[in-house]
Amino acid sequence: MQKLIVANWKMNPASLKEAVHLAKACDKTEVVIAPPFVFLEAVSRVLKKASLGAQDVFWNGDGPWTGEISLRQLKGLRAKYVIIGHSERRKLGETDEVIAKKVTAALKSGLTVMLCVGENWDVRKEGKKAAYDFVRRQIVKDLAVLKKLKIGKFKKLIVAYEPVWAIGTGKNDDPADAALMAGFIKETLAADLAAIGSRVLYGGSVTGRNARGFLTLPEVDGVLVGGASLNPAEFKKIVAAGQ
């Protein structure tokens, strides 16, 4: 089965023209492109094969929430996916409570949620058990709502394991360790939340050179790509590795 490749452009590129050009160059099947909010509409118009994703969402509907974007607005632009709980959002102060609200609202709306979890280096250097315990706590807090939702909603859930120490550092996790963590996440979803069948992605300094090492692992269902998704040639190598 073809693996899912997610392009998180973060706060890039600088112009609408560049965003449209990049979207056209990366428009492949089993690809999700998550541009900044300001480019969502333009990217939505040019995608023929890839799906549109958003980098965040607010949990309430329309109303007086300055600077936020609603689920209705995202769906109106044909977004199918939304990234929630990215470590860069958590670093800005986003709590598990806030993340849980966003996950709940997004799943109820029908969007596919990509929940990001992962430990920082202070935790990882304590050992793998400490990393597993940390990730499990994040999952249980952020996804407690799954116990209240119908089982069909689980198909709308993806968990992206992104060790914080690997994001944007050029130092990716060892594929064998990533496979073990992905398996642990699936076991946690099944045991603690009765969520079976959710896909697990790896993210953290994924490039065209190392992508195959992750994408050939049966436990890993795809990758979440940051910087390398801004380079069409590099991104195409990652997509090819997942086919």
The active-site residue out of 18, 126, 162, 187 is 162
The verdict on whether 86 is a catalytic residue reads yes
In the structure encoding, which two tokens stand for residue 217, read together?
Answer: 């692992």
The active-site residue out of 30, 86, 119, 219 is 86
Nearest alpha carbon to residue 115 among 133, 135, 92, 131: 135
Sequence-ordered list of residues with C-beta below 8 angstroms from that of 168, at least 6 positions apart, any chain: 205, 226, 227
Q: Is 117 helix (H, G, I), strand (E, B) or coil?
A: strand
The verdict on whether 21 is a catalytic residue reads no
123-130 long-range contacts, CB within 8 A, separation 24+: 124/163, 124/165, 128/177, 128/180
Provide the β-strand partners of residue 52: 33, 79
The crossing angle, in degrees rounded to 10, of helices 232-241 and 16-25 is 30
Give start and end residues of each alpha helix (H) in 80-120: 87-91, 96-109
Please identify every residue annotated as catalytic: 86, 162
